[in-house]
Amino acid sequence: MKTREQLLREQLAQIEPCAKEYEARSLAYWDTVGKPLKSLGRLEDLIAQICAIQRSERPMTEKKRLIVMCADNGVVAEGVTQTGQEVTAVVAENFFDDQTCTSLMCHEAGCELTVVDIGMAADTPRTLRKKEVYGTKNLAVEPAMTRETAIGAILTGIELVRDFAAHGTQIFATGEMGIGNTTTSSAIAAVLLGVPPEAVTGRGAGLSSDGLKKKIDAIRRGIAVNSPDPDDPLDVLAKVGGLDIAGLAGVFLGGALCRCPVVIDGFISAVAALLAKRLAPACAGYMLASHVSKEPASGMILDALGKRALLTCDMCLGEGSGAVALLPLIDMAARVYNEMGTFADIRVETYVPLN
């Protein structure tokens, strides 16, 4: 019987780059649409990227789904958060009662919502239970989880995307909920980017200055105790990461396998995207960046991914809020592209670039 790692490696080997010829065709078609050339700016590039992802001359964005990965992190024992980890389960359930910002935003964006328990410390009645373990261990004193557990969560993310794509989902957005996950994300970022913890660690959901010092110290100790290998993304994830990050990395990889765009949310989602890219570099072409979080490493992570965010909103909520906020813009750009007449249709002389 194949191990989980063998199964993951087989799937990673199947990821192919986006079809750049469709991107070129899309950009050429934009120049025939009856409006000033390049006047929708980066929205035109966005649609061209989606065409390259979907191998289609017409982008398909009607069926959208946000996947929120929920998990708990043992590092909260180090006093790195404002609240206890019981809040993870409370907020996970609130998604179902429209008591979160993101669930309300999903209604406005026409986006389906799936809330996944990938590793919460408690069971909740309505989340989709795909739990690997009941929360990770304290990374400041020992590995957060085993390598096999981390891989299992990645495989879960891949399989969720495969299933939803098979039932018609065309574009995915990523979100997370897990008290302590800016600590795990900062730890991963520090290792993968090769920078000191203080350069990538922020206040999360509102830490005091003393709390920020504890957070940086916990990350520094975690890296020293566990010695994660920066050249082995799975080792980094298992030793200092979280299950929500692992599940989201799987969502990004699954999007590439299923030729579906996946929207990066904020810092935590972007860290998962970077892990996915380190595992399969070609998957980065399937990612769309929504915004830049206020966390210190957000811009660094997007640079490492080769991405520019499309929104400038100073958002720092997480939970998929930034990713969902981008979806209406995608829909509007796709509608213009798919439905607006060309210069020939409206009997206007085609615009040409001027020197």
Complete domains list, the chain, with CATH: 64-336 (3.40.50.10210)
With a cut of 70, say whether residue 354 has pLDDT above it. no
C-alpha angle 279-253-98 in degrees, rounded to nearest 5 = 130
**For residue 316, what pLDDT is reported?**
84
Residue 221, strand partner residues: none
**For residue 343, what pLDDT is reported?**
85
Select the more confidently predicted residue: 207 or 37.
37
**For residue 221, what pLDDT is reported?**
98
**For residue 355, what pLDDT is reported?**
59
**What are the tens digits of pLDDT across the range 254-307?**
999 999 999 999 999 999 999 999 999 999 999 999 999 888 899 999 999 999
Q: Active-site residues: which are they?
A: 319
What are the tokens at 232? Answer: 């082995």
Measuring CA to CA, which residue among 288, 47, 9 is closest to residue 158?
9
**For residue 188, what pLDDT is reported?**
98
CA–CA dist 37, 303 (Å, integer):
28
Residue 114, strand partner residues: 67
With a cut of 80, say whether residue 14 has pLDDT above it. yes
3-class state of residue 315 by DSSP: coil
**What are the tens digits of pLDDT across the range 107-137?**
999 999 999 999 999 999 999 999 999 999 9
3-class state of residue 321 by DSSP: helix
pTM over 0.85: yes
Measuring CA to CA, which residue among 57, 26, 56 is closest to residue 43?
26
**What are the tens digits of pLDDT across the range 177-231?**
999 999 999 999 999 999 999 999 987 777 777 878 999 999 999 999 999 999 9
| 9-31: average pLDDT | 97
CA–CA dist 40, 349 (Å, integer):
19
Residue 217, strand partner residues: none
**Burial zone of 314 (CB within 10 Å; 0-12 exposed, 13-18 middle, 19+ buried):** exposed
C-alpha angle 216-217-221 in degrees, rounded to nearest 5 = 120
Contact indicator for 337, 57 with CB cutoff of 8 Å? no
Write down the mean pLDDT value for the chain.
95
